[in-house]
Amino acid sequence: MKSTKSDKKQNNSQKLEDLSSNMEDSQNQKMTTNQGLRINDDNHSLKAGERGATLLEDFILREKITHFDHERIPERIVHARGSGAHGVFKVYDDSLKKYTKAAFLIDPSRETPVFTRFSTVAGFRGSADIPRDVRGFAVKFYTEEGNYDLVGNNMPVFFIQDAIKFPDLVHAVKPEPHNEIPQAASAHNTFWDFVSLSPETMHNVMWLMSDRAIPRSLRMMEGFGIHTFRLINDEGKAHFVKFHWKPLLGTHSVVWDEAQKVNGQDPDFHRRDLHEAIEGGAYPEWEFGVQIVAEEDEHKFDFDLLDPTKLIPEEIVPVQIIGKMTLNRNPDNFFAETEQVAFHPGHLVPGIDFTNDPLLQGRLFSYTDTQLSRLGGPNFHEIPINRPIAPIHNNQRDGIARMEINKGKTAYHPNSMSQGYPEQAKVSEGGFASYQERVDANKVRARSKSFMDFFSQPTLFYNSLSEPEQNHLVEAFCFELGKVDIPEIRQRVVGLISQVDKGLAQKVADGLGLQVKQPEQPINHQFGADANPDDYQPIKVTQKLKSSPALSMANTIKGNIKTRQIAFLVAEGVDSKSLADMKNALEAEGAVVRVIAPHSGFIKDSAGKDVKVDHSFLTFASVLVDAIYVPAGDKSIDKLKNTPKAVHFIDEAFLHCKAIAVDGNAIELVKISYVANYLNKNLDKVKDAGLLIGSIADQNFSKNFIKAIGNHRFFEREKQGKIPA
């Protein structure tokens, strides 16, 4: 029997303790202070007379105001803007048993609760959802062996190789300190100044300039653990591993013009999309995959496994799919859960361990230090969203906001007064033991020469993209660098791009009015004052692999229109059959229909029946949907032809390469749009697969429209030039 949404919510809640403080029937609740004292008057402060001074002794006022004053905690320095959801994770089989002893990764009978938080990196909490930015993808697994946090991004590589440079990167990409501008954007002087002097950033910069940086939905983006970790089995043998999340809806993005307009139309676009999908029962799903490398193969690649600016191409080491995560419950309280959840890559379980990746090593300190500041002290693990389902027994005591009331006379080890408890756990009992890696080296401030290849993987990434993706990347570079008003910085970046691909550099230079100068060996400024600069020059590596199809979104999953948003443009007198038949066909495939009309409320169709309007043209735009359908109806089409925003809807959706279907005389709306001029007014011989002109009476009409929506976009339109919208 298929479990319902409520069943899943209830099952998930059984594993996570019910931490609600309001246990009474809500209809019988009486207002109280935080100490439980019932309040007689919550509308007036205590005064010396009706018009007199407020009295200091008004403890109810002081408690209420004090709590209000402290309702905002320091936001995250990065990843401040986030959205989260509860769910479950389950492995398909025990195929990883030979690699790891982590029970949640090898026992298909276990259903592990998770909380996943998605985020942008650069913006503040109040920024919009679709800036050009990296997206955080962090998952907290509440396993029976303790919490495990996989804290990653939607891009498999990072900007820097050593954690000591992280403050510099963030200071550079954040709003400039003299004027706090721009918000949530990398298109400004300081970021590109840092990039131009740090060639190690180029791989992540290529991803940032690609369509990966403007996802269609949080539900339609990949996730990566970024670092190389270790899996440890029962015998203590280790294998290197990279972690992947693959969305079952495919990996899809918007286009840049669309992203900018979405940020104006609905700054909460991604957050709303995630929330509504889960509320509607369309639970987002990702398959979990691993790339496993034997320890003896650590040095067989032409890149360093410990370098966080490198990925392992899937064509070299395939991703082995081992399980699935389903997000099936929205938070009950955004602040208590999404805002207070505390991730840390150092939250491990037996069977998973670190490597010497220098960026990862720094994160192991940074995350705990951050939570101490953000969440008020060392007891952030007692906040409900952070509590493990595994029992906690240790000798840690006291501190700000301590929740647990510890009993007993001892808080130290060893002891005899409590018979030695809590006692240490043997490895065979689930005790964690760090991997015994031999360390024999001098103390140095240096970087391995194997990290100095900065350009071969950016070249691989560019060569792997489809033609539309490459064109969008060029436009992104031109937009970003066009916002940089220091010519020397722009020129230095073009010089770095020329090391990736000369053709790409020429296109970017043309867009900026620059010349591509004779490529010079770029200087890497990431070395110490007394270091020999020659030791830190980039090295040239020729990748054996010329392209990796897995890196292109053109090769992602297509055809699934579940949860896709379809706008129906209608007015009074819309043909009832034209509207109903297409609506039924789309909803049967899991799509969501939004009825858009000149006014809110209801309109009447051709049969005189009321049709509920979801949005008016005043409050809605084409950038908020995936496709458009215009039903037939003489009266309706006449009204829409005289509604400029309806015509603009068509033009803008066409500009953004979306599927459009018009039934019968609805073609008249297309004839007065710029789309008709774009097609030389030859609408009878349309060759654009994404523009369907037909009749709802033809059974293939709705099928072809569904197929077109499943294609996501029709980027071949971009070859013919733009239309104004």
Residues 101-129 pLDDT 10s: 999 999 999 999 999 999 999 999 999 99
Residue 12: band (very low, low, confident or very high) from pLDDT cuts 50, 70, 90: low
Element (H, E) at 701: helix 699-710
What is d(CA 435, CA 429) in angstroms, rounded to the nearest whole number?
A: 17
79 as an active site residue: the answer is: yes
| AA letter at 509 | A
For residues 425 and 145, give the distance between their C-alpha atoms in angstroms, rounded to a whole number.
12
Q: Exactly one of 12, 147, 153, 330 is catalytic; name it.
A: 153
User: ∠ CA(75), CA(266), CA(572), 5° rounding?
Assistant: 160
Integer angstrom CA distances of residue 675 from 292, 620, 684, 712: 50, 20, 13, 19
Instruction: Give tens-digit pLDDT for 545-557.
Output: 999 999 999 999 9
Token pair 């370098």 is found at 307
- The catalytic position among 79, 86, 252, 656 is 79
Q: Which of 39-48, 491-500, 609-618, 627-636 has the lowest mean pLDDT?
A: 39-48
Phi-psi region of 490 (alpha: psi -120 to 50; beta: other; left: phi over 0): alpha
**How high is the pLDDT of residue 89?**
98
The neighbouring-strand residues paired with 150 are 139
Report whether pLDDT(6) > 80: no
Over the stretch 300-355, which tens digit does the pLDDT of each residue have? 999 999 999 999 999 999 999 999 999 999 999 999 999 999 999 999 999 999 99
The tens digit of pLDDT for each residue in 585-614 reads: 999 999 999 999 999 999 999 999 999 999
Where does the pLDDT of residue 519 fall: very low under 50, low under 70, confident under 90, or very high at 90 and above?
A: low
**Highest-scoring range by mean pLDDT, 419-423, 517-521, 668-672:** 668-672
**Which of 721 and 316 is assigned the larger pLDDT?**
316
Bridge-based pairing of strands 592-597 and 615-616 is parallel
Give the separation between CA 220 and CA 327, rounded to whole angstroms. Answer: 13
Q: Is 260 helix (H, G, I), strand (E, B) or coil?
A: helix
Domains (range + CATH), the chain: 82-376 (2.40.180.10), 454-554 (1.20.1370.20), 558-720 (3.40.50.880)
Q: Which residue, among 154, 261, 197, 250, has the nearest Cα to 623 in the 3D structure? A: 261
pLDDT confidence bin for 50, thresholds 50/70/90: confident
Residue pair 709/564 in contact (Cβ under 8 Å)? The answer is yes
In this model, does residue 15 exceed pLDDT 60? no
Q: Is the dihedral of CA 25, 27, 30, 35 positive or negative?
A: positive
Q: What angle do CA 269, 287, 91 make, to 5 degrees?
A: 135
Spell out the residues 6+ positions from residue 554 whose beta carbon is closer than 8 angstroms to its own. 465, 466, 468, 469
First-residue to last-residue Cα distance in the chain = 49
Predicted confidence at residue 2, as pLDDT, reads 46
Asked if pLDDT for residue 21 goes beyond 70, the answer is: no
177: CB partners within 8 A, 6+ apart: 171
**Strand locations in 336-418 (E):** 352-353
For residue 86, CA distances in Å to 139, 310, 531, 621 come to 10, 31, 49, 30
Mean pLDDT of 692-707: 96
Closest CA to 251 of 219, 206, 293: 219
CB atoms within 10 A of CB 656: 21
Q: Is the pLDDT of residue 94 over 70?
A: yes
Q: Secondary structure of the chain: what % helix, strand, coil (to 5)?
A: 35, 15, 50
Looking at residue 24, its pLDDT comes to 44
Query: What is the mean pLDDT of the segment spanning 688-716?
Result: 96
pLDDT tens, 158-207?
Answer: 999 999 899 999 999 999 999 999 999 999 999 999 999 999 999 999 99
d(CA 327, CA 88): 7
pTM: 0.92
With H, G, I as helix, E, B as strand and everything else as coil, classify residue 604: strand
Q: What is the DSSP letter of 633?
A: -
Question: Burial of 134 by CB count in 10 Å (0-12 exposed, 13-18 middle, 19+ buried)?
Answer: buried
Task: Report the SS3 class of residue 352.
Answer: strand
195 SS3 class: helix
- Check if the beta carbon of residue 383 is closer than 8 Å to that of residue 375: yes
| Single-letter residue type at 97 | K
- Checking if the pLDDT of 377 tops 70, the result is yes
Spell out the alpha helix ranges (H) of 532-661.
576-588, 634-641, 644-655
More reliable by pLDDT, 377 or 529: 377
**DSSP H helical segments within 280-331, as ranges?**
none
